[in-house]
Amino acid sequence: MYAVDFTQASIVFGIKGKTLTADEEALFRDANPAGYILFSRNLETPSQVKKLTERLRELTENNEVLIMIDQEGGRVQRLRPPHWREYPPMSVFGERAEENIDEAVACVYLNYRLISLDLRALGINVNCAPVLDLPVKGSHRIIGDRAFSNNPQTAAKLGHAACDGLLAGGVLPVIKHIPGHGRATADSHVELPRIDTPLHKLREKDFIPFKALCDMPAAMTAHIVYTEIDAGAPCSASSTVIKETIRTEIGFKGLLFSDDVCMRALQGPVNARVASVLGAGCDIALHCDGNYRDMVAIAKSCPQITRAAIKRLNTAKRLIRDSDKFDAQAAKDRISAFLGNY
């Protein structure tokens, strides 16, 4: 049982390099963030990454601190050869699912079980995956082949298999980008997308995979304006979208992360962005670029985690466990046989 810890701040920080600076160590010790997120700039060799995650735990009052990464496969995987396996984009599984959905489900499970093996060996316990977004014709490629399929039922089945594979290996999945990024015609890293699709169409398609996986332990919001729900604010900073759509209509009860507040879809000073997403109902904000001065500003004003959020956080943490015995080579062989030369 994890003890309730109200001293943690409602923030996940990125770091600048492959080792921590003295200033970063002092800040993290004082701020006691809910977690950290790693990017390619932080990763060099298995031994280096392991030392880094061990040090992050030493600096944090809660040694089960969240250490996160985006390891989806395809274009978005921070761990890459020569030290780590190259994983296919998720659209490949979706394409094969049209011929054999049962084997696609089995192989997605094994694929993410392999990913969990990589992550646990490095001390990483949270994967910001899978993507449940449904791309449509004419939408921006920022989602593209990261998605399993544009069929909501297929995306739901394969997404559930991905979550099961991660959980079986002791890694928390974070489904994204709730309530759906697939229709966006702009990249939220660069600008704020607006989706004008009627609400009934979003309900008929985009929300379906998220509703099917509403019992998952964690999700990440989209920095998108859904004009039919709240024309005045992006989802991450909209209490209407979070409370009425994500929490009530979709029924998601787990831990809710904002997407990265450094993205240009959001406006204003970073500490104000953090305040806006937390005020709207996100449990924890992500600040990913490792800018030390910005992290200091955030730490000065970031609230401690709420009672409701800490309950969801501790529920999620209980799923982090030692991974089960697993035949990795058999899994690789089965996936290769199914996908062929994708």
Strand order, beta sheet including 175-178: 172-173, 126-127, 66-69, 33-38, 9-14, 284-287, 255-260, 218-221, 175-178
Q: Is 177 a catalytic residue?
A: no
| Alpha carbons 52 and 45: distance in angstroms, whole number | 11
Residue 7: half-sphere exposure toward Cβ, Cα within 13 Å:
10
Q: Are 234 and 224 in contact (CB under 8 A)?
A: yes
Structure-token pair, residue 79: 């761990």
> How are beta strands 76-77 and 71-73 bridged, if at all?
antiparallel
List 5, 70, 145, 259, catalytic entry: 259
Q: Which residues contact 46 (CB under 8 A, 6 or more apart)?
A: 83, 121, 122
Q: Is 189 a catalytic residue?
A: yes
List 23, 30, 189, 333, catalytic entry: 189
| Alpha carbons 209 and 153: distance in angstroms, whole number | 7
| Alpha carbons 331 and 315: distance in angstroms, whole number | 29
Active-site annotation, residues: 189, 259
